[in-house]
Each structure stands twice: as C-alpha cells, then as structure tokens.
Structure 1
Amino acid sequence: MDTSTASPRRTGRDALDAVLIASTVLMGLIAGVYYCFTCAIMPALAGADDRAFIDFLQRVNAKIENPVFFLSFYGAFLAPLAAAIMQRRRGGGPIGRWIVAALALYTLSAISTIAFNIPLNNDLDDAGAASAIADPAAVRADFEDPWIAWNIVRTLLSTAAIGAMAYAVLLRGRARADRTG
C-alpha cells in the first residue's frame, strides 16, 4: 500500500495491528523459553549428577543475559503497554480489556521471574564453580524444586497472557471485518 495516500486514521489502525501482533509474538517467545525449561530442560537434568546439573544451569545463566533475550523479555511488556494505550485512545472496550488482561498476566510472570527465579539463579552462581563446590547436592537441593515450581508459575502466567493477547487480536480482526464488511 502507498502510505503517502493513506489516511492518518488508517495508518493508526495499521500501527495498532502491528503492535498487537508484536505483543503476541514477543510474549510467545518468552513463554516458549519457560515452557522449554518446564517440558524438556529440567526433566532432562533430573537424571544428571549434581555437578553437571549446577554447571549446565550456571552456563545458561551466563548466556541468557543477552540483548536478544532482553529485547524479548522487556518488549513483551512494552509492546502490550503501547497497545493498551493505543486502544484506550480508541475507547478501550473489550479489545482494550483483553490487552490489559494480557499485560497484567505477563507482568505477573515477569514479577515472579524477577522475585524468585533470578534470585535462585544468582544463588546458584554465587555457589561458585560446580567443580569446586564442597556439597553440590545441598546446593542443588536448595535450588531445584523452588526454581521448577516458580518456572511453572511463570510458564502458566505467560501462556495465559498469550491467550488473552490472541483474543484481543481476534476481537480486533472481527471489529475490522465488521467495519469493512
């Protein structure tokens, strides 16, 4: 489409659509990380010896803090916040309520990550190199079950956030179809 002839109203609608889709994708990426840990990584590590378990997760901790992950993690909050503001300017309605629900659910998943999973990760890192830990079984015991429990919480919350955002996208599509229809 030639945007030079597009009306400002049309451009605004297209921008909201793009932000809604970006929100859904970003939330999906983060939920996918958590889901992978829930369904594959932690179950696979269950059979590992304590030092291998600690070493692997310390390596993950060192690599996950990178610009791509941070863009996704914070973008999954900022994009739906922008969508909520944009939709509010259009009157809010059911679409706005679902966007806010998605934002609230994602925010709760981020809070659980920051309040529980990250401190547990930091404790694991602070234990030192896996090969030098005097009692790796104790370090693992302090980490494993609480981390898994909080990972399940954030997985469920972020997955529910995707569902809410997807429903907002669906409602938005229906509303556009009704107007053109």
Structure 2
Amino acid sequence: MELTTKQITLFIGVLLTGLSAGLFYAWAVSVIPGTRRITDLVYLETMQSINKAIINPAFMIIFFGSVVLLGISTAQHYQSGSIFWVLLAATVTYLIGTIGVTGMGNVPLNDALEVLKLNKFSLNELATMRKEYETPWNRLHMIRTVFSVLSFALALAAVFMNSRTNFNQ
C-alpha cells in the first residue's frame, strides 16, 4: 500500500497535535503540582527560566506545525464530507483554544514576568506577584490543555473515519 500526500499530511498533523496535547497535559499533571511546593522567589525564577527555554525549534514545530498541518489536511479533505468537518473542528479548536489562549493569555503574563528584577522585591511583594501570575496562568493553561486534547481527539477521529472510508472503497 502506497501512502498518499493526503494521508501523510493527516498523519503528521495528528502526531504533532498529539505531542502538543501531551506536552500541555504532562505539564498540568507534573510541573504545576511540583511548582506548588516551592517558594515564591524560586517559582518566579523557574517560570522566567522555563519561559525562555521553551522558545526553541522543537517546541515551535510542534506548537505551530499542528495547526498548519491540520489546516492543510482540512483543505485536502474539502470534498470528503464529514471528515472535512471533523478536521475543520480540530483545526479551529486548536487555533482558538490552544494558540489563541496561549498568545492572548499565557504569553502576555510571561512577558510581564520576564521584565521583573525579582531580587529587588520583598517576600510579601514576591508572594503577591506569584499569585497575580500563577493563578491566571494556570487557569489559562488548563483551558489550552483541554482544547489541545479535544483537537487531538477530533483529529484522531478523522483518521479513523478516513481509514474506514478507504477500507470500504
């Protein structure tokens, strides 16, 4: 069996979306609980460091590649009936719920944190800053986690629909 460009695009789009959803889920169930156990200064310093480190090619390929390949796959399945609509839902869900929430919510919080010279603040000020950052950041992270997992589930459903369609032909 020879794979088509359409099948390869769908496969890679689903793979990248799954990796993105997995990253966000793993963060939610490991990093967030772990950071609750550290002091305010260490938490804020850690988040400053992570926010710099996450901007790398491997993350960017997964984060943005998901929506690009889902979008291409959606266009390729334009004449495919319900598969098209499921892929469109996966693409829009990821674009708005993952990229949109990150860009409009988490990134501005990260940018505001980045400019702070943490060693110049009192313990009380650090506690306040942490609360003002951590609470909304974690809430936004949960939203993007749910949307990325939903997008992955929809994209995976499209794969099953596609394989069933191809099998019946």
Name the TM-score class by shorter chain: over 0.9
Find the residue that maps to 2:77 and give its secondary structure.
helix
Q: 1:175 aligns with which of 162, 165, 169?
A: 165
TM norm structure 2: 0.93
Q: CA deviation at 1:131?
A: 3.1
How far apart are the structure 1 equivalents of 2:107 and 2:54?
11
In structure 1, the partner of 2:80 is: 92
Q: 1:165 to 1:52 in 2, by over 3 A?
A: same
2:113 matches 1:124: yes
Alignment check: 8 A CA contact 1:116 1:150 kept:
yes
- RMSD of the TM alignment (CA)? 1.4
User: In the alignment, which residue of structure 2 is the partner of 1:7?
Assistant: none
Q: How does 1:47-126 map to 2 (within 5 A)?
A: 47-88=37-78, 91-108=79-96, 109-126=98-115
Per-residue deviation, residues 53-87 of structure 1 (Å, max 9, x unmatched)? 01111110110011111111110110011101111
Please, which runs of 5 or more residues in structure 1 have no aligned partner? 2-9
Asked if the contact 1:127/1:133 (under 8 Å) is kept, the reply is no
Cα offsets for 1:10-67 (capped at 9, x unmatched): 7xx6111111111111111111221122111011110110011011111101100111
Q: 1:38 aligns with which of 28, 32, 35?
A: 28
Identity of aligned residues (%): 24
**Structure with larger Rg:** 1
Partner AA of 1:143 in structure 2: Y
Greater alpha carbon shift after TM alignment, 166-175 vs 68-77: 68-77
Letter in 2 for 1:49: T
Q: Report the count of equivalent residues.
A: 166
TM-score of the superposed pair, with normalisation by structure 1? 0.87
Q: Deviations over 1:97-143 (max 9, x none)?
A: 11001001101121001000111111111212x33334211110110
